[in-house]
Amino acid sequence: MTFQNNLEFAQQLDQQDELKKYREEFIFPQHNGKNVIYFTGNSLGLQPKSARNYVDEIMNDWANLAVEGHFYAQKPWWDYHERFANPLSQIVGAKPSEITVMNTLTVNLHLLMVSFYKPIKTRYKIICEEKAFPSDQYMFQSQVHFHGYKPEDAIIEIKRREGEHNIRLEDVLAKIEEVGDELALVLFGGVNYYTGQVFDMKTITQAGHKAGAIVGFDLAHAAGNINLELNDWNVDFAAWCSYKYMNSGPGNASGCFIHEKHHNNTDLPRFAGWWGNKKENRFKMEQNFNPTIGADGWQISNLPVLSLAPYLASVEMFAEVGMEKLIAKRNKITSYLEFILQEIDKEVDSTFEIITPSNLEERACQLSVFFHGEGRSLFEYLMKNGVVTDWREPNVIRFAPVPLYCSYEDMYNFGQILKKGILSH
């Protein structure tokens, strides 16, 4: 398609958009009486209008049933998490038995490391990406220290080549092969938070397994954003937060994937808790832990159903839309944003550098941009003029045009605001 940088063309794209009605299902912050242009769904998704009803349902059941709500609420609390298994399995390419929802992302990664990072003297190293999200870096460091190793010896970061912004797959594969028998774990982000680069998880998983390692992924920026086939790719484990592209609310619950091949492995260590015990025996209060077969066997605590409620509202919307349609619009609207940036770059005679890969297979719903010579003042101008976006040091602004609620007209209007911001400096 040949794009045009004008309002009429953007509105025409919106009229043709089969997902346009879902924009009305979200609540936008306001700027001068209008919806903001919201580019930070990669940090915190907007609130679905239906979320309040899901929370109110639990509040009403709590008021009217108190403790009996565990069993007699409209959606009984004791098995509330089971409602996520089918829709989430479709979103991440898994079997329902491989999915559970619990805790928060880094907590779950630590818990999964109990099962899947089992270093020995000859095989203890972890391969990860350079500039992974800080929580992952801290998690790696503390896990390695816990097991008695030094981070500088045990943690291997795949670096970008000099002068390049993205990590080459060939360098990942070469490093996996080089570390070989010393490699215990490969744990990457599915999408790099800083650049928006999508990693080839299938190929990385195959390489890690060939080296005899376990392979897992932090899908914080991937779940609800890209095509995932975790079961078919034979990924060992994964976890993701739900408050970015999945719109569940700030700091909300995390999803977990544990491949079915591990479900019956009684030799796998895990930190056990009441809610991971077999459902039919849970209230018998038996002394010994007898885990549920499947990802639910990694559950620990009673469910925070007030947190899960808005997540369920969003997940059911995803189930209605389907990832195929979301990805199709994601590709189109992100490409239109890229076009708008390039057109404004020409008009203002500035220098924009998009560091996110241009290949659609290597990017998702994010463009990370260096605005050379502009700096943080441009970011602040955008924020003051109704464009909610994201600044990352040293000089990157991230834009995430989320397909569920962003419009093509947003992209055009953003370009006009951006042009004014640059020309006014």
Please say whether the beta carbons of 230 and 190 come within 8 A.
Answer: no
Does 140 map to a domain? yes
258 and 120 in a single domain? The answer is yes
222 and 122 in a single domain? The answer is yes
307 and 174 in a single domain? The answer is yes
218 and 327 in a single domain? The answer is no
CA distance linking residue 112 with residue 106, whole number of Å? 10
Beta bridge partners of 59: none
176 and 283 in a single domain? The answer is yes
SS3 state at 240? strand
Does 397 map to a domain? yes
pTM above 0.85, yes or no: yes
With CA atoms as reference, report the closest residue to 388 among 413, 371, 422, 408. Answer: 413
18 and 104 in a single domain? The answer is no
Of the candidates 321, 342, 372, which is a domain's last residue? 321
DSSP H helices in 266-407? 305-321, 323-348, 376-384
Place of tokens 């095989």: 123
Does 42 map to a domain? no
160 and 178 in a single domain? The answer is yes
Does 220 map to a domain? yes
Please say whether the beta carbons of 333 and 406 come within 8 A.
Answer: yes
CATH of residue 116's domain is 3.40.640.10
Of the candidates 297, 321, 345, which is a domain's last residue? 321
SS3 state at 295? helix
What is the chain's percent helix, strand, coil content, to nearest 5? 45, 15, 35
Those residues whose C-beta lies under 8 Å from the C-beta of residue 65, and which sit 6 or more positions away, are 72, 73
351 and 403 in a single domain? The answer is yes
Please say whether the beta carbons of 298 and 265 come within 8 A.
Answer: no
Those residues whose C-beta lies under 8 Å from the C-beta of residue 171, and which sit 6 or more positions away, are 158, 159, 161
pLDDT of residue 134: 86
180 and 253 in a single domain? The answer is yes
CA distance linking residue 397 with residue 367, whole number of Å? 8
Using DSSP bridges, classify how beta strands 183-189 and 214-218 pair: parallel, antiparallel or unpaired: parallel
CA distance linking residue 294 with residue 264, whole number of Å? 8
Of the candidates 321, 345, 362, which is a domain's last residue? 321
Does 214 map to a domain? yes
CA distance linking residue 386 with residue 414, whole number of Å? 9
Does 45 map to a domain? no
DSSP annotation of 159: P
Does 89 map to a domain? yes
Give the range of the structural domain holding residue 237, as residue numbers without chain letter.
53-321
20 and 76 in a single domain? The answer is no
Place of tokens 């870096």: 137
Q: How far are the Cα atoms of 194, 201, 414 from residue 406, in angstroms, in the given order?
A: 21, 27, 11
Domains held by the chain: number? 2
CA distance linking residue 189 with residue 113, whole number of Å? 15
SS3 state at 192? coil
Q: Is 226 exposed, middle or buried (0-12, 13-18, 19+ CB in 10 A)?
A: buried
Is the peptide bond prior to 394 cis by the omega test (within 30 degrees of 0)?
yes
CA distance linking residue 158 with residue 388, whole number of Å? 32
CATH of residue 413's domain is 3.90.1150.10
pLDDT of residue 374: 79
Cα Rg of the chain, angstroms? 23
Does 415 map to a domain? yes
CA distance linking residue 172 with residue 355, whole number of Å? 19
pLDDT of residue 423: 86
232 and 367 in a single domain? The answer is no
317 and 345 in a single domain? The answer is no
With CA atoms as reference, report the closest residue to 403 among 335, 310, 344, 329. Answer: 329
Q: Which regions in the chain score pLDDT beneath 70? A: none
Please say whether the beta carbons of 147 and 119 come within 8 A.
Answer: yes
The end-to-end CA distance of the chain, in Å, is 34
